[in-house]
Homo-oligomer: A and B are copies of this chain.
Amino acid sequence: MQIAKVIGTVVSSYKLPAMQGIKLSLVQFVNEEGQLIPRYEVAADSAVGAGVEEWVLISQRAIAPDPGGKDQRPIDAMVVAIIDTVTLGNRTLYSKKDEYR
């Protein structure tokens, strides 16, 4: 998975039926030093509900689980977790608590 920061939202009214009811977040990737890099994903956030500025974990796994249905959704990136902390050895690279204080 990759670490990313939620930076925006994508809205679409005309889409495949299998894409209905999915919140689409624009997330920008963060490198191993905690800096934003020029790479993004429009990631489905069907259950986590991450807000703008939060650091999240993005999975680009090929097969997205479809909680309610029988059809597989054509989703190639998902928000799978909101990150609390990223620790490198003894150093804290990111702490959600610090960010929001």
Within the complex, which residue of B7, B47, B61, B77 is in contact with A1, where a contact is CB–CB below 8 Å?
Answer: B77
Within the complex, which residue of B26, B59, B74, B89 is in contact with A88, where a contact is CB–CB below 8 Å?
Answer: B26
Q: How many copies does the complex hold?
A: 5
Query: Given A63-B62, A86-B8, A87-B8, is A15 in contact with B81 using a C-beta cutoff of 8 Å?
Result: yes
A-side interface residues, number (CB < 8 Å): 55
Secondary structure dominating the interface of A = strand
CA distance A18 to B85 in the complex (A): 20
Interface residues in chain A, defined as those with a beta carbon under 8 Å from any beta carbon in chain B: 1-3, 7-16, 18-19, 24, 26, 28, 31-32, 38-43, 47-48, 52, 57, 59-65, 71-72, 74-78, 80-89, 93
